[in-house]
């Protein structure tokens, strides 16, 4: 366990924003993570890819999760992969694709750590980790004990879980166990944009490596793969989640829009629509913003730091987008990143 004081947090995030931590503790073992997380007020930080930290920083202890380790258990037709919370997510995806294990290939290029995947229920291009998770080992800070949580206990929903909302801050994720399928090809591709990129019909399958490369290419085209040479990748990814509406709310959206918005069916007769589509049609186009903070030139759902920006400027732009969409369409967009010391 390594301790430092007054450490800038911006360089530890993909947005490169945020003031200093009064105390930063870096842990590289589960035991040290449990010990550090016993301080219920400590902030846990790993990949820093889905977080917005105030310009004032965090005037307490920040625990930087740097645990490592991946264990693979081979079974008939299925494979279990247990990974430490601090492992880099895309490195794990790359490894599973190379070892012909299906289940993560559409989640390629997503920045961050393994420990964040159950918190966010990370998903993209028709896949989400909730479908592969069999267990989350975590330290329950309220009970003071290590627990193993089954998927049914995790409260998984679209880009959400009990870790993110109902029990935010209660659990420190230590390890995640996933179950993947031995296969040279993907599951049926169910996302139209990805199917087009692969030259497939919806429902077709493709070699895992081809799916991964196609996803990476699509994400790069949107500035959604970390790249030191691409200023549009200096973001927290998608800043707002795609709204999920009931039938009445979607009909009202259609009426206000004047033509059919994007739609994807959800459980219970609900419909998911595109936050990026709403933002652009509310008058905020790619590249919007004259200062250091603005919309990505490649994707209307990413707010980027062009260099020298502040969290206060980012929050102001996020409010402008949220309020503009609400005024135009009557829909309240919800932020996807964790907001530390700031609010919309």
- The catalytic residue among 64, 159, 162, 281 is 159
- The catalytic residue among 87, 105, 128, 336 is 336
236 closest CA partner among 279, 278, 295: 295
109 closest CA partner among 131, 125, 133, 85: 125
- Beta pairing partners, 175: 84, 137
Residue 98 CB-density burial (10 A; 0-12 exposed, 13-18 middle, 19+ buried): exposed
238 is catalytic: yes
Which pairs with CB-CB distance under 8 Å and at least 24 residues apart come from 154-157?
Answer: 154/118, 154/130, 156/118, 156/121, 156/128, 156/130, 157/121
312 closest CA partner among 286, 341, 336: 341
Which pairs with CB-CB distance under 8 Å and at least 24 residues apart come from 70-77?
Answer: 70/95, 72/99, 77/181, 77/182
- The catalytic residue among 49, 135, 238, 296 is 238
Which residues make Cβ contacts (< 8 Å) with residue 164, sequence separation at least 6?
119, 120, 338
Phi, psi of 74 (to 5 degrees): -90, 130
Residues marked as catalytic? 159, 238, 336
């Amino acid at each position: 366990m390594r301790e430092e004081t007054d450490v800038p947090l911006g360089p530890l995030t993909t947005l490169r924003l945020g003031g200093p931590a009064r105390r930063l503790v870096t842990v590289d073992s589960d035991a040290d993570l449990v010990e550090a997380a016993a301080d219920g007020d400590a902030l846990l930080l790993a990949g820093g890819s889905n977080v917005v930290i105030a310009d004032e920083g965090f005037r307490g202890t920040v625990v930087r999760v740097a645990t490592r380790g991946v264990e693979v258990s081979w079974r008939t037709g299925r494979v279990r992969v247990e990974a430490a919370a601090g492992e880099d997510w895309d490195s794990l995806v790359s490894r599973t694709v190379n070892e012909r294990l299906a289940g993560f290939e559409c989640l390629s290029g997503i920045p961050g750590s393994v420990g964040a995947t159950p918190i966010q229920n990370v998903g993209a291009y028709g896949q989400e980790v909730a479908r592969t998770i069999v267990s989350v080992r975590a330290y329950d800070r309220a009970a003071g004990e290590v627990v193993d949580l089954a998927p049914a206990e995790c409260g998984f929903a679209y880009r959400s879980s009990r870790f993110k909302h109902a029990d935010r801050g209660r659990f420190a994720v230590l390890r995640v166990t996933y179950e993947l399928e031995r296969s040279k090809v993907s599951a049926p591709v169910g996302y139209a944009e990805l199917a087009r990129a692969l030259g497939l019909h919806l429902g077709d399958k493709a070699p895992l490596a081809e799916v991964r490369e196609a996803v990476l290419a699509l994400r790069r085209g949107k500035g959604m793969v970390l790249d030191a040479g691409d200023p549009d990748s200096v973001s927290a990814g998608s800043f707002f989640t795609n709204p999920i509406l009931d039938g009445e709310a979607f009909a009202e959206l259609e009426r206000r829009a004047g033509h059919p918005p994007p739609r994807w069916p959800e459980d219970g007769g609900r419909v998911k629509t595109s936050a990026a589509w709403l933002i652009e049609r509310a008058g905020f186009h790619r590249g919007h913003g004259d200062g250091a903070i603005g919309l990505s030139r490649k994707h209307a759902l990413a707010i980027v730091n062009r260099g020298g920006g502040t969290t206060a400027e980012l929050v102001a732009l996020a409010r402008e987008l949220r309020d503009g969409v609400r005024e135009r369409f009557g829909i309240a967009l919800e932020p996807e990143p964790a907001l530390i010391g700031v609010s919309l």
